[in-house]
Structure 1
Amino acid sequence: MSTITVDLATKKYDVKIDNTLHTRIGQEISAVWSTRKIVLLTDNNVGPLYLEDTSRQLRDKGFDVLELVVPAGEQSKSLSVAGDLIGKMASAGFTRGDGLIALGGGVIGDLGGVVASLYMRGIAFIQIATSLTAQVDSSVGGKTAVNLGDTKNIAGSFYQPDLDLVDVTYLDTLTDRDLVEGYAEVVKTSALSDQNFFEFTGQIKSISDIREHAQELSQRAIAYKARVVMADEKEAGERQFLNFGHTFGHAIELLAHGELRHGEAVAIGMVAISSRFEQNGIMPKGMTDELLSRLEAVGLPTQSEFIGTTHFFDRLINDKKNHGGVLNLVALESIGNPVIVKKKIADMPAFMEN
């Protein structure tokens, strides 16, 4: 088993990575938490696969488990759903000494983190990440949020878990599309991290390669993200680098109205921003092609009709990285050397036309 420790000023926790963790959930959680009431939050995709066994393991260790299931998909990341969950917890008599476990992908992790942070001003929180997106990215680092209408991740908090369990055997039940969208975040992280990791993603030529090397991909991606989070927990500096491709990607994802997965939109966003920065001499020639080869090898989309439209620019205005009309965009001077490039939103149409 590989353990990566996230050691912050006010919190220290482990991210455990192993392909047998799903058989030891009760053991791992009882080593971190005393017996208490637990909300086990999942969605109606993951629930039929893993909820019963996970609940049994927790009850066998003496935990009092309340199972809460929400509809799968981005629509569950809302204040109304969060409020409904909080109401059910209050009715069940949950106190500040109890906890919440998010069993699922990025949506459940985000929703669970928001609910845990709000209930009685904060209760204990653990993530069991079942998607590649959650395992390599969203479950690590404490960023939790819900959407408001068409504005993504607008209401949330930095709320670190007490433990993060990453078991790649959960990926066996993902469709190829749901697996591959998470790989976009791996490619992003490899480009930000170093040449060695980037060369490793260059060796991934198929979906079966992702499945075969999932544990190593997760370990490398999590190790990089943990280093960044420990250096900049609240995204005041270098943690902003993790947004590479996300400013454009979030806009595209929202305009697609559910037709694109998050990672698919990020893949498009990375290519779009990289090609513009190459044309402007900020990124070296050929880097966009390097990204394209990795993304297209596994079938990720890399283009969108939404880029450069009026609606696209409208979405940029609501982006969290909009600071008084200026966007902090991420570019790569070279592999492993990301930089922030400030662009006025008013100048974005001209920038996109280049």
Structure 2
Amino acid sequence: MKKLRVNLKENSYDILIDKGILSNIGREVKKVFHGDKIAVITDENLSRYYRNSIEEELLKEGFNVKIIVLKPGEKTKDFNTLPYIYEELLDFNLTRSDLIIAFGGGVIGDIGGFVSATYLRGISFIQVPTSLLAQVDSSVGGKVAVDLHRGKNLVGAFYQPKLVIIDTEVLNTLEDRFFNDGMAEVIKYGCIKDKNLFSMLQNLKGRKEVMENIEDIVYTCCDIKRRIVEIDERDTGERMILNFGHTLGHAIEKYYNYEVFTHGEAVAIGMHLITILSEEKKIAKEGVSQLLKEILLKHNLPCKINIEDKKKFIENIKLDKKNLNNNLNLIVIKDIGEAFILKENISFFDSVTI
């Protein structure tokens, strides 16, 4: 088992990474939670695969368990989903001394974490990420949120879990598209902080070889994020670099009403577009955008789109949470492994070709 400690004083917690660790989930939960009731929030796809085994493992340790099953997909991560979940928790008589487990990908982790942060003004929760994207990124760091009609993650909180349990074996059940979705975030970590990781990904041939190295890959990404979060838990400084590709990525998702591109696909396009712009403006080293394009294509990710309504797209960019006092905090790279925050206004995107 690989283990990392996120050191945030009273909000510190461990990240456990191991193949097959779900078979011992009850035992690992019992090490950090000594109450009675556990509400597990998951989605229909995961429920079909894991509901019985997860419930059995938790019951074996003496916990009283309720499973709340949501529809899969980004549209579930909506503010209007919250009342249903809160009612389910109230029917279960869940109290502040009990626990929520968010068992799923990024959508479930986000909405499960947000419910934990807001139900009864805060209840402990554990992240059990089941997608590659969630394992390497969204399950760590305590960012939890839901979407509004006007944009993604516009209502949220910083709320750290008590524990993150990562079983890399569950990635075998992912469809190729959603495995590739997570690879966008893995590539992002190479771009912003780790040239060696980027080089390794350049040399891996397809999903099979990635899976042969998956524990090291997940550990490396989580370790990078852990170190950044320890410095900047509230996303006011260096943590912003984790959003490389996300300003444009979120705008792309919103433009297509979350129906055309996955989050990772949109981020992949966003990383490539902003790097092209950075090269044009002599911010990035010449040739970096080509390197990025090659690695995205190698891992079956898109790198360009055709936007018909550029004005509408630009309006979506303005909704970015890093838009402070009419200035965007854009994340750009000078070279592979070297990211920084560039303060610009929306005119930065005037010349973007989309």
With the length of structure 1 as denominator, give the TM-score of the two structures.
0.97
Taking the aligned partners of 1:149 and 1:176, their CA distance within structure 2 comes to 29
Aligned to 2:175: 175
Aligned to 1:145: 145
**Aligned partner of residue 296 in structure 1, secondary structure:** helix
Instruction: Report whether the alignment pairs 1:42 with 2:42.
Output: yes
Aligned to 1:319: 320
Taking the aligned partners of 1:243 and 1:277, their CA distance within structure 2 comes to 16
- Measured after TM superposition, the shift of residue 207 of structure 1 is 2.4
Aligned to 1:221: 221
- The answer to whether the Cα contact below 8 Å between 1:104 and 1:128 also exists between their aligned partners in 2 is yes
Aligned to 2:335: 334
- The answer to whether the Cα contact below 8 Å between 1:79 and 1:148 also exists between their aligned partners in 2 is yes
Taking the aligned partners of 1:339 and 1:307, their CA distance within structure 2 comes to 30
Taking the aligned partners of 1:269 and 1:110, their CA distance within structure 2 comes to 21
Point out 4+ residue stretches in structure 1 off by more than 3 angstroms. none
- Measured after TM superposition, the shift of residue 10 of structure 1 is 3.2
- The answer to whether the Cα contact below 8 Å between 1:187 and 1:201 also exists between their aligned partners in 2 is yes
Taking the aligned partners of 2:309 and 2:340, their CA distance within structure 1 comes to 23
- Measured after TM superposition, the shift of residue 350 of structure 1 is 2.5
The one-character-per-residue Cα deviations of 1:218-271 (angstroms, maximum 9, x if unpaired) are 111111000000010000110000010000011011112211100000000000
- The answer to whether the Cα contact below 8 Å between 1:308 and 1:349 also exists between their aligned partners in 2 is no
Taking the aligned partners of 1:19 and 1:213, their CA distance within structure 2 comes to 12
Computed over aligned residues only, the root mean square deviation of the Cα atoms, in angstroms, reads 1.4
Q: Match for 2:169: what amino acid?
A: T
Taking the aligned partners of 2:105 and 2:205, their CA distance within structure 1 comes to 24
With the length of structure 2 as denominator, give the TM-score of the two structures.
0.97
- Measured after TM superposition, the shift of residue 208 of structure 1 is 2.1
The one-character-per-residue Cα deviations of 1:243-301 (angstroms, maximum 9, x if unpaired) are 10000011011112211100000000000000000111000011111111111002101
Q: How does 1:231-242 map to 2 (within 5 A)?
A: 231-242=231-242
**Aligned partner of residue 224 in structure 2, secondary structure:** helix
Aligned to 2:25: 25
Taking the aligned partners of 2:133 and 2:73, their CA distance within structure 1 comes to 14
**Aligned partner of residue 329 in structure 2, secondary structure:** strand
Taking the aligned partners of 1:194 and 1:54, their CA distance within structure 2 comes to 35
- Measured after TM superposition, the shift of residue 23 of structure 1 is 1.0
Q: Match for 1:331: what amino acid?
A: V
- How many residues were matched structurally? 353
Aligned to 1:230: 230
Q: Which runs of 5+ in 1 are unaligned?
A: none
The one-character-per-residue Cα deviations of 1:183-208 (angstroms, maximum 9, x if unpaired) are 00000011111222221121123222
Aligned to 1:115: 115
Q: State the identity as a percent.
A: 39
